Amino acid sequence: MSFQPQGRSRPGCFGYGCVIAVVLFTVVIGGVTLYGVKSMRQAVEKYTSQTAPPLDSIVVDPATTEIANAKFVALKKAYSERASHSVELSEGEINALIQSSSWKNKVRVALVGDELAATFSFPLSDLGSWQAASMLLGDIGGRALRGDAQGRFAIADGKASLTLSKLNLNQRPLEDMARSHAAEWILGAFNAAMVGDNTAGDNSALPEVLTRVEKVALQDGRVTVQIR
């Protein structure tokens, strides 16, 4: 489990990293909803862009950053000591953590009631190597992912759920079926990353990082993270 809100290290899959993960893998929607290499290449060109200009800079209150980092450190300490702990994060605190990470000016979050909205603009190379995909789709790693999304994301007793109410890629909105496929793929990728080769589907086989998560929930413009 990784808690590193500062520096160039990638955020872990728990904490605010989960928030970002909701939008990071949406580029594969072309491969999920369309068939054939030609169609997939067309989807990549349609839903990704050639450049990823940074998002407009935001001024983060130093006091908010200090509070967010303190909550983050306290949660990390509780996890390492195998103690129960719960924190609530505001929209400003989540963005403060993001601005202190390698995703600064690449991802921005807004909490809209019980839904999370995210705006993003970053090169696909930030997600890792695209060498295998490039054999079929061309220089996909040299392209960028820009857009915005909104939906409900939660973790309860080690199980994640996601519903997307809006997803725009490269200024193109995706319809209901495409958003549903995107949500299913994101959850599949998330669970595969967490569970590894396990196919049993029981909590006893889940890695500790998930068995320790009692709740990650959005409600009334706040994110609650609770570990046990």
Q: Would you state the pLDDT for residue 88?
A: 94
**Average pLDDT value for the chain:** 75
Q: Would you state the pLDDT for residue 87?
A: 92
Q: Which residue has the higher pLDDT, 40 or 93?
A: 93
Q: Which residue has the higher pLDDT, 92 or 20?
A: 92
**Selection from 45, 23, 30 nearest residue 170 by Cα:** 45
Q: Would you state the pLDDT for residue 68?
A: 93
Range name among 85-94, 124-133, 175-184 with the lowest pLDDT average: 124-133
Q: Which residue has the higher pLDDT, 221 or 148?
A: 148
What does residue 105 show for φ and ψ, rounded to 5 degrees? 60, 20
If pLDDT is split at 50, 70 and 90, which confidence band does 129 have?
Answer: low
Query: Which of 2-6, 72-76, 218-222 has the highest average model confidence (pLDDT)?
Result: 72-76
Range name among 89-93, 132-136, 156-160 with the lowest pLDDT average: 132-136
Q: What is the pLDDT of residues 210-221, one digit of tens each?
A: 678 888 888 888
Q: Would you state the pLDDT for residue 89?
A: 93
Q: Which residue has the higher pLDDT, 200 or 194?
A: 194
Q: Would you state the pLDDT for residue 134?
A: 63
For the chain, domain boundaries = 16-227
pTM: 0.74
Q: What percent of the chain has pLDDT over 90?
A: 24
CB neighbours of residue 182 within 10 Å: 26
Q: Would you state the pLDDT for residue 94?
A: 92
**Selection from 59, 56, 31 nearest residue 46 by Cα:** 31
Q: Would you state the pLDDT for residue 24?
A: 44
| Mean pLDDT across 152-175 | 86
* Direct distance between the N- and C-terminal alpha carbons of the chain, in angstroms, rounded to an integer: 14
Asked whether 92 and 117 are in contact (CB, 8 A), the reply is no
| Sequence letter at residue 224 | T
| Sequence letter at residue 192 | A
Query: Which of 25-29, 32-36, 162-166 has the highest average model confidence (pLDDT)?
Result: 162-166
